[in-house]
Amino acid sequence: MGMGIEKKLGKSPFRLFGISAICAIVPFGCTPATNLGTSSSPSSLAPNQSGVLVYGSGGSPVNLEPGNITDGNSIIVQDQIYNRLIEIKPGTTDLVPGLAAEWSVSTDGKTWTFKLRQGVKFHDGTDFNAEAVKFNIERWWDPNQPQGYRNEGKIYEIWQQMFGGYKGDPNSLLQDVKVVDTSTIQLRLKQPFAAFPAAIASGFYGIASPTAIKKAGANYGKPGSLAIGTGAFVFKEWRTGDRVVLEKNPHYWRTGLPKTNQLVIRFITDPAARLAQLRAGQIDFTVDLAPDQIKELQADPNLESVPRPSFNVGYLALNPSYAPLAKPEVRQAIAQALNQQAIVKAFWGNLGQNDAHFLPPSLSWATTLSLQPYSFNPPQAKQLLAKAGYPNGFPLELWYMPVSRPYYPTPKPIAESFAADLSAIGIRVTLKTKDWAAYLEDRRKAPGYQAFMMGWTGDFGDPDSFLYAHFGPGGTSDIGNWKNDRVFQLLNQARATSDQTARGKLYAEVDELLHQQALRLPIVHAQPLGAKRKNITGWVPSPLGTEPFESVEKK
């Protein structure tokens, strides 16, 4: 049919315009004839069978420049283009070699040596080597590195947040970066930091081609510019607001991968629209659906739900600087008054787990497994309150967030359940909320909120990412600058210990202390909900939030 129109219209541009005008006026009058009538035309209406793998992302990436951005929509694309020195075993938080074939630490725990994989090339044909790694790390860390383009507004703030500061900053964990030979690089730290390999393995730190960065300048990683790594897919095109198109890297160093020749990442902000796209077969797999969409998903025989292992915690913080909450017994009473299991069942279904630990289940090696969550026991809770001097309860302002987060998809009704349970033991709850940015900020202004809902998704696959940030020095300003010398000591000791079993024991003691203190009551470890069409295989979602799609295949 398409050919037919072309022939009939001949060469006159005016006739062409005439047809266009008619088509434009009656868009749906013209199109079915030209599209549906042609069996050979790539119909956009049938499920996409073209062999192109299409991923429905929750939004557009911000940019494709490693180290400069932390949002999941950017990292998921970067995961396809770049490799990191150390990577993650699919579906776990275990470390596996990436661009570093092996790594080791000096006996004082301060010098990390990475032996790099040899013969690897960037997509632009340049060599991957120790100089390239040094170039990347110095961009993030050294404010004077010329290709960091900090004068053009680049910040690399995640480096500061994870590693204490930039070069020259007294709090900077990193002391220096040294190229030993073309395939060996050494990073010297000021203090031992056992979680360093896990931290540098986080999705933020893909290694990019220095040549490409120098060529593209400050525009590197923006739409219309370059994004050159060593990963399974080569960046081809970024259509603003619409899609990123990637193609197989024929020289990928992991032999036999990727399994698909073309990968298209489409940006679809609205979860309902994403699920509709998946059901219509226009995308093959997607993430970040709302928990209540699981019913619709399960009702469609062409789809399968794919829960991501949890790497978050949704908690209820009890601020000891509010007098009634100063005693641990009162906080324990609150823990016993909440029917946590029932609440999790009601709001997350099978996509949430309630346990005794602040750490998510994928980090169970760092917990005391025998620890049981506080059981639902209102009479005992009432007794505890009475013993602590509050036989008639007390008033409590409980803050809930105004936005949906992965760990608390529907904060308000969950807060109402908390309030109902607490009123049964005489605690008179007033529910409060405010704008999200103000909510985040004001909780740290003394005296802080009395009780509030909050949560956390780990930045990297180590207990340190959860525990130090919430219970270490500087991490407790929202719970009245709570300070426990033993906890601080254990957390610092764990940072300085490289043996995993020994670290596990230290963290397990922290786990017990925190359970007894009941300051940030872990309510849920939620599993973000993904989904795929049945003919998609090889997708193993990582607890860390994003993963390479090099093994994903369309059958």
- Residues 467-526 interacting with other proteins (rule: CB under 8 A): 469, 474, 477
**Please, which of residues 99-158 interact with other proteins by CB under 8 A?**
152-155, 157
Closest approach of other proteins to the CB of residue 360, in Å: 15
Residues 385 and 393: their CA atoms lie apart, in Å, by 7
- Told to check if 294 binds other proteins by CB under 8 A, we report no
| 119 vs 301 by CB, closer to other proteins | 301
| 61 vs 352 by CB, closer to other proteins | 61
- Told to check if 180 binds other proteins by CB under 8 A, we report no
| 42 vs 391 by CB, closer to other proteins | 42
- Told to check if 240 binds other proteins by CB under 8 A, we report yes
Of 30-38, 79-87, 97-105, 367-375, which segment contacts other proteins by CB under 8 A? 30-38
- Told to check if 540 binds other proteins by CB under 8 A, we report no
Reading the block at residue 552, the tokens are: 């994903």
In degrees, to the nearest 5, what angle opens at C-alpha 541 toward C-alphas 539 and 545?
140
Sheet with strand 312-318: strands edge to edge: 352-353, 520-526, 312-318, 451-457, 395-399, 428-432
Closest approach of other proteins to the CB of residue 530, in Å: 18
- Told to check if 439 binds other proteins by CB under 8 A, we report yes
- Told to check if 298 binds other proteins by CB under 8 A, we report no
- Told to check if 48 binds other proteins by CB under 8 A, we report yes
Secondary structure element (H or E) that encloses residue 299, with its range: helix 294-299
Closest approach of other proteins to the CB of residue 173, in Å: 15
Among 41, 298, 404, 537, binds other proteins (CB under 8 A): 41
Scan for tokens 């099978």, then name that residue. Answer: 350
| Distance, C-alpha 76 to centroid of its chain | 9
Residues 488 and 470: their CA atoms lie apart, in Å, by 11
- Told to check if 10 binds other proteins by CB under 8 A, we report no
In degrees, to the nearest 5, what angle opens at C-alpha 43 toward C-alphas 39 and 46?
105
Among 142, 288, 421, 459, binds other proteins (CB under 8 A): 459
Three-state SS sequence of 501-545? HHHHHHHHHHHHHHHHHCCEEEEEEECCEEEEECCEECCCCCCCC
For 537, list phi and psi in degrees, rounded to 5. -125, 165
Of 58-66, 79-87, 486-494, 510-518, which segment contacts other proteins by CB under 8 A? 58-66
CB atoms within 10 A of CB 440: 14
Of 89-97, 270-278, 367-375, 505-513, which segment contacts other proteins by CB under 8 A? 270-278
- Told to check if 455 binds other proteins by CB under 8 A, we report yes
